Amino acid sequence: MTHYISTANDQQTTPIIPIIKSTYETWLAAQNEFLRAVASQQKLGEDVGNIIVDRKKSGRISKVYMLVSDDLNPYDFCHACKSFPDGQYHVESDTEEVIKAVILAWGFGSYRFDRYLNQKQAPTLVVKDQGAYHTELATIKATSMVRDLINTPADDMGPTELSDYAEQFAKENHATFTEIVGDSLLSENFPSIHIVGRASHKAPRLIELNWGDENNPKISLVGKGVCFDTGGNNMKSAQFMRWMKKDMGGGAHVLGLAQLIIDHDLPVCLQVLIPAVENAVSGSAYRQGDVAQTRSGQTIEIGHTDAEGRVILADALTYASEGEPELIIDYATLTGAARVAMGPTVTPIFSNRKEISDEIFANGQISHDETWPLPLQQSYKKYIKSSIADLNNSASLPQGGCITAALFLEHFVGADIPWVHIDTYGWNFGDRTGGTEGGEALGMVAVFNWLKGKYTA
């Protein structure tokens, strides 16, 4: 991954001068005649993210002026870094919140997924004071991790490779790593993970990481890890299968959130669970009409093989509940219905504790990582009933699909355990990141900020 932020650079750097849009006219009036003329000619004050480059008589860049939004939403002006000439820059402002917003904008907007490309030189932002901007740098690091994992093609990020990544992650962060692989899922009573992933040549598995002091409050993060989703025997069309490398986005999100928790040393005992599978088609693929067993003892009629994410999460959520954590959070690229309801960048959240979803919503408004609480409408449970099993993984009507999916998952969470379900998209079309389409962390920063407030004084 590359995001073109440096924390150690002895070269001379050029200052970036952020100008808040509502103060632009005041700023302009205080400048010399030449700069006023240049700013007006290049329409600096019209659109957030506009820049002008001020040069010395020698032609060397003296300063770069950049227009930023009044609410300092970094996604509003993260495209600006793409307009900068090559060079080394730093942010110059009397306001810490402005500096933090520009750092985030640069990190989000300069990201490149360059694993398969020859790396190109690009302008770099230098942030020498790592302590003062620790949270911003950690957020960029975690966001880039999520993007990289989602952007990596399935041949290089299948269940095996995701496991390898998680194991390395554990080593680097002083966490423990374990996994249950292949037919061992049956002997260890994780049948719903096995049935979905058994058709692939890359064995299904349950990845588990543990970090932190066991005496601290335990929280469990569960992430859907469908590394590629063909739709199974109910196969997707090419149009909808094209980006299904992103269907492990839930797993990517919980690793990103774990990284933020660890980097901030939150006083928690952290468990991360990722059921990792490929929903493939072969002679051993599960079929529409099959009945899946689960760790909880509940049975699932497979109404549709393309509703596989909730099936693998069933065993993982049951296992998480057995540990009696004080909080379970799951992330999943679960339903197209969530996108229909909310669009690509507002993330629906569900919780069996209303105050939690309300608090995450409030944190999302502050962090510009927008979420929206949706109801666990209990009367809709009738739509996921089955005549031959306890549940059907496909609702009997198309409306409210993200709600019925959340209700399905609720059956596998301990009733006394606070639980949050996040139906993330894991993708953006470039409008959020200044023109770069690809994997995206959605609903991660909002949840982390809530956790940070909850578990630190």
Tell me the domain boundaries of the chain: 5-130, 138-455
pLDDT at 59: 82
Q: Output helix, strand, coil percentages for the chain, rounded to the nearest 5.
A: 40, 20, 40
Q: What is the pLDDT of residues 184-196, one digit of tens each?
A: 999 999 999 999 9
CATH of domain 138-455: 3.40.630.10
Instruction: Single out the catalytic residue among 100, 245, 246, 310.
Output: 310
Q: What is the pLDDT of residues 121-137, one digit of tens each?
A: 789 999 989 999 999 99
* Cα 369 to Cα 266: distance, rounded to the nearest angstrom: 21
Instruction: Single out the catalytic residue among 82, 236, 381, 452.
Output: 236
Active site residue 236: yes
Q: What does the pLDDT average to over 383-389?
A: 98
Q: Using the CB atoms, write b or e for 128-149: b if 16+ within 10 Å.
A: eeeeebebbbbbbbbbbbbbbb
Q: For residue 155, how many other CB atoms are within 10 A of its CB?
A: 11
pLDDT at 12: 87
* Cα 315 to Cα 411: distance, rounded to the nearest angstrom: 11
pLDDT at 168: 98
* Cα 225 to Cα 159: distance, rounded to the nearest angstrom: 8
Closest CA to 412 of 325, 326, 337, 312: 312
Per-residue confidence band for 434, with pLDDT thresholds at 50, 70 and 90: confident
- Start-to-end CA span in the chain (Å): 34
If DSSP states are collapsed to H, E and C, what string results for 126-189? ECCCCCCCHHHHHHHHHHHHHHHHHHCCCCCCCHHHHHHHHHHHHHHCCCEEEEEECCHHHHCC
* Cα 277 to Cα 254: distance, rounded to the nearest angstrom: 16
Q: For residue 105, how many other CB atoms are within 10 A of its CB?
A: 29
**pLDDT of 11 above 80:** no
Closest CA to 449 of 326, 266, 248, 268: 266
pLDDT at 303: 98
pLDDT at 457: 61
pLDDT at 119: 72
Q: For residue 446, how many other CB atoms are within 10 A of its CB?
A: 25
Active site residue 21: no
More reliable by pLDDT, 224 or 119: 224
* Cα 63 to Cα 55: distance, rounded to the nearest angstrom: 7
pLDDT at 2: 67
Per-residue confidence band for 1, with pLDDT thresholds at 50, 70 and 90: low
**pLDDT of 21 above 70:** yes
Minimum mean pLDDT among 53-57, 97-101, 380-384, 409-413: which range? 53-57
**pLDDT of 255 above 70:** yes
CATH match of 5-130 with 3.30.70.20: no
**pLDDT of 376 above 70:** yes
3-class secondary structure, 89: strand
* Cα 83 to Cα 42: distance, rounded to the nearest angstrom: 13
Closest CA to 23 of 85, 95, 82: 95
3-class secondary structure, 224: coil
Residues 6+ apart with CB under 8 A from 205: 159, 163, 179, 180, 181, 182, 185, 193, 197, 275, 276, 277
pLDDT at 433: 83
**pLDDT of 52 above 80:** yes
**pLDDT of 330 above 70:** yes
**pLDDT of 245 above 60:** yes
**pLDDT of 263 above 90:** yes
Radius of gyration of the chain (CA): 23
